[in-house]
Amino acid sequence: MGVKRVAAVIMLALVAGAGVWARWTFLAPAVIYTPPVGSRSLYDLRVATLDGKPADLGRYRGRVTLVVNLASRCGYTPQYASLETLYRELAPRGFSVLGFPSNDFGGQEPGSAEEIQQFCTRTYNVTFPVFEKVVTKTGAGQSPVYALLGESGSLPQWNFSKFVVGRDGRVMAFFPSRTKPDARDLRKVIERALAAGS
């Protein structure tokens, strides 16, 4: 086999592998957990705000939350707008969006805390809580938030992955990046979670 033919075979293998990765990353299905999963509550954790101050997630106990890994330089970044719309609409009913910036995928959140805050405020007028930058991937340095969420069997494969967390702090559903915040399936799970505690 000639060098050109070997190179062509290697290239085809790489393209096929990239196709499998892309399908898994961008076309992965949502996962609905019935009943909710997890033996621990997200609301038992303490984290830090974007400006580094301690934050107790216990303040969200009794609320339904949508936990999202954020990035300011991603093709999905425009989802900030619909996340904010969802937050403003449903907050009076006991709902909150919890944003966790992450630079895990494509280096698409390289900014400092101040840069992220300015971007969120100036570009999308974000009022939902945004916490310090985290590592979502399994391994050293993984955020306790994502270690707990990962007990569901799902972890982000890209930016803007979404976890619906019930009033008790257990994971009710996971939605991949491509699911927009105003998607019918996501809204249905959120509405079900809100109704469960009313």
Angle between helices 79-90 and 113-124 (to 10 degrees): 80
Asked whether residue 14 is assigned to any structural domain, the reply reads: no
Asked whether residue 129 is assigned to any structural domain, the reply reads: yes
Count of structural domains, the chain: 1
Asked whether residue 183 is assigned to any structural domain, the reply reads: yes
Q: Cite the active site residues.
A: 74
pLDDT at 7: 54
Asked whether residue 21 is assigned to any structural domain, the reply reads: no
Task: Determine the structural domain holding residue 116 and report its residue range.
Answer: 29-196
* Sequential pLDDT tens for the chain (198 residues): 565 665 555 555 554 454 444 444 556 778 888 778 777 999 999 999 999 999 999 999 999 999 999 999 999 999 999 999 999 999 999 999 999 999 999 999 999 999 999 999 999 999 999 999 999 999 989 999 999 999 999 999 999 999 999 999 999 999 999 999 999 999 999 999 999 875
What is the length of the chain?
198
Query: CB of 168 within 8 A of CB of 36?
Result: yes
Q: From the CB of residue 194, how many other CB atoms can be counted at a distance below 10 Å?
A: 17
Asked whether residue 117 is assigned to any structural domain, the reply reads: yes
Asked whether residue 12 is assigned to any structural domain, the reply reads: no
User: Could you give the CA distance from residue 121 to residue 51 in angstroms, rounded to a whole number?
Assistant: 14
Asked whether residue 148 is assigned to any structural domain, the reply reads: yes
Contacts of 18 (CB under 8 A, 6+ apart): none
For residue 109, the domain's CATH number is 3.40.30.10
Alpha-carbon torsion angle 167, 58, 174, 106, nearest 10: 160
